[in-house]
Structure formats: structure tokens, C-alpha cells
Amino acid sequence: MLSKHESGQRHRNAMRAGTWLSIGAVLLLSGCANAPSVLQPHGPAAARLAELWWVLLSVAAIVFVIVMGLLAYALLRRRPGPSRLGNGQVFIITGGAVVPAIILVGVMIYTVGVQRAISVPQQPPVLTIEVVGHQWWWEVFYPDQSFATANEMHIPVGQPVLIKLTTADVIHSFWAPELQAKMDLLPGQTNTTWIQANTPGIYRVECAEYCGVQHAHMSMMIVAEAEEQLAAWLTHQQQDAPIVTDPVLLQGQQVFMGSACVYCHTIRGTTASGQLGPDLTHLGSRLTIGAGILPNTRGHLAGWVINAQAMKPGNRMPPMYLDASSLHTMLAYLESLE
Ligand code: CUA
């Protein structure tokens, strides 16, 4: 019998284990709440991949149940004397080689078939987008419209889009779980993939190849929208930044142009023409900053400008030393770049 002390201790341990399990479950589930899932496909390629996943899971589940059933049978019905299955050779060859070979070859043929089917779109792509991976952001270039943006791409809903991928530094991987399989970005090489979203919305891209300390914070937004909206967006993005006349914005522009910002960033239509960081010509129109890590609000932008290292340690943007008034006017200017 357990002493009162022991039984109390066990109860407490059980309670503690229960608490940790609940915390773990909450963290796990809350993490999943807004995460893009391959099991909720929004495009034809992702739909085939989800189907592949369910077929493979079903086959594996059936095999698992049969093998466990046979194991249970062997354990429970073990009797002395010769087995009813003889010396078991036929069973071992059939169950251990022939049946697995049939299943594995079948699964392989099906998998290769799905891979081939999703490698090219059914109709020719209507738009080409070039993506260059950087530690840790995405450069997005529309070659036919000749403009660059960053960490956000807009595509027409229901139509295939060709994506050309390369990298400026290390290996990255372009992964929009709801739209398409992963594709690596390799140095000195251009890989191509395509995406299609069947429903309007915002689809997240994650870097799926470990690329350094901020690999986990290398995201991008794909905005799938109606053709008219896309056409308006493309036309707007092609334009240079507007000429500033408002005194506050003018002051902010002077602060920006007089700072180190211009060595890394481009604002088309101004003297800022740096190539190291994201093009800021239409920064104000973007959904996020810091490659998808934060919503594009003035508060986040202020924190980012003053000390991006506190928000995303290791990124290439150095801290800026600005007085309150300079910061205020520069933020107003950056926000005006819609
Ligand atoms: Cu880029 Cu991981």
C-alpha cells in the first residue's frame, strides 16, 4: 500500500504532467491556427499533393494495421509444436518480399505520376515572376513590367504563373504550402516552378531550406486577386515614387536621402539607388515588413528603422541613430510611398 505522502506525490506528479501536456497542446494548436497547411490546398498542384498525402497515409495505415494484427496473433496464439503455416517459408517470401514489392512499386509509380503532373501547368502561364533569395528576404522582379518589389507578389486568381528562382547567396527554398511543392533556389542556376491559386486571398511563402540564423523569418505574401485589381496593382508598381511637395514629407525625404539608407535601398525617381536591400519605391503599399515578420504599421516600421537588430537579429540592416523629429518625418515619408 502507498503511504499518504507517496499517494499525494503521485497525484501532484500526475497533475503536473497534465498541466504540461495541456500547455504543449495549446502551444501546438495555436501554432497551427494560422499556419498554411498542405492539407488545405487552394490550387491544382497543391490539390494533387494533398491527394498523394491521403493515399500514402491510407496505404501505410492499412499495412500497419495488418502487420500489428499478425503480430498480436503470433503473440497470443503461440503454442508448442509445429506451426500450422509449416516452416513458414512461403509466408515469409510472400509477406516479406512479394507483397511489399508490389505495394512499394505501386506507390512509386503513383508518386512519380503526381510529380510529373504537377511539374508543368495545364495551360501556358499568363505571367512570369523572377524571385531572388537573399539572407533573409525575397527580391521579386516582374520582367515584363520591369519593376522590382520585395517579400510580396501579386498574381491573377485561377491562372498559372511561372516563377523563376535563383539566389544571391546561399541555398533557399520557395514553398507556398497551399499552392505548390517546394522548389530550391540554388546559386548560379535558375530553377522554375509555377503556382496557381483558385481562390482570391493571401498565401504565405516560407523558406524551406535552412539558410542561416533568420531562416525561420523569411516569409513572403502571395496576393491572388481578380485580373482588374492585378492590372491596377501592376500599373501602380511600375510608376516611380511621386514627387514630394508636403513640407513634412519633404523633410522626411531629406532625412532619408542624407542617411546611410540610400547605400542599400532604391526608391525609383529619387537619388536612392542601393541594391543590397529591398526596393522601397512602394513600401507603403506592402502588407508586411521584415520579410513577413510584422504587419506594415508605423510602430513596427519605427522599431525596424531604429534597430532592426532587436526585431530580427543578424539581418543586414544596421541600427539608425535618429532624433525623434527626424524619425517622425522619415516614417511619414516612407508611409507615403504607397
Ligand atoms: Cu532562406 Cu531558409
Q: What is the pLDDT along the chain (338 residues), one digit of tens a residue?
A: 445 555 556 566 655 655 665 655 555 555 555 688 999 999 999 999 999 999 999 999 999 999 999 899 888 876 666 556 556 788 888 888 999 999 999 999 999 999 999 999 999 999 999 999 999 999 999 999 999 999 999 999 999 999 999 999 999 999 999 999 999 999 999 999 999 999 999 999 999 999 999 999 999 999 999 999 999 999 999 999 989 999 999 999 999 999 989 999 999 999 999 999 999 999 999 999 999 999 999 999 999 999 999 999 999 999 989 999 999 999 999 999 99
Q: With both helix axes pointing from N to C terminus, report the angle between 324-336 and 298-311 in degrees, rounded to the nearest 10.
A: 110
165 lines ligand 1 (CB under 6 A): no
DSSP SS3 for 57: helix
Burial of 198: CB neighbours in 10 Å, binned 0-12, 13-18, 19+ = middle
215 lines ligand 1 (CB under 6 A): yes
CA distance 65 to 103: 15
Contacts of 326 (CB under 8 A, 6+ apart): 255
DSSP SS3 for 68: helix
Ligand 1 atom having least distance to the Cα of 218 = 1
251 in Cβ contact with 329 (< 8 Å): yes
Q: 207 CA distance to ligand 1 centroid (A)?
A: 4
154 lines ligand 1 (CB under 6 A): no
CA distance 224 to 227: 9
Q: Determine the pLDDT at residue 96.
A: 87
Q: 209 CA distance to ligand 1 centroid (A)?
A: 5
Please name every residue paired with 129 in a beta bridge, in sequence order, or none if there are none: 163
The amino acid occupying position 270 is: T
Residue 158 is placed in which grid cell? 485561377
CA distance 205 to 193: 14
161 in Cβ contact with 194 (< 8 Å): yes
Positive or negative CA dihedral for 244, 245, 248, 254? positive
207 lines ligand 1 (CB under 6 A): yes
Closest residue to atom 1 of ligand 1, CA basis: 172
Q: Determine the pLDDT at residue 91.
A: 82
CA distance 272 to 264: 8
What angle (nearest 5°) sits at the alpha carbon of residue 326, between those of residues 325 and 329?
85
Ligand 1 atom having least distance to the Cα of 208 = 2
Ligand 1 atom having least distance to the Cα of 170 = 1
133 lines ligand 1 (CB under 6 A): yes
209 lines ligand 1 (CB under 6 A): yes
167 in Cβ contact with 186 (< 8 Å): yes
Q: 210 CA distance to ligand 1 centroid (A)?
A: 5
Q: 143 CA distance to ligand 1 centroid (A)?
A: 23
Strand 161-167 with 127-134, pairing: parallel
Q: 337 CA distance to ligand 1 centroid (A)?
A: 28
- Please choose, from the candidates 230, 231, 275, 235, the residue with its C-alpha nearest in 3D space to the C-alpha of residue 139: 275
Q: What is the pTM of this model?
A: 0.83
Q: 206 CA distance to ligand 1 centroid (A)?
A: 8
Q: How many CB atoms lie within 10 A of CB 112?
A: 10
290 lines ligand 1 (CB under 6 A): no
Direct distance between the N- and C-terminal alpha carbons of the chain, in angstroms, rounded to an integer: 74
Ligand 1 atom having least distance to the Cα of 136 = 1
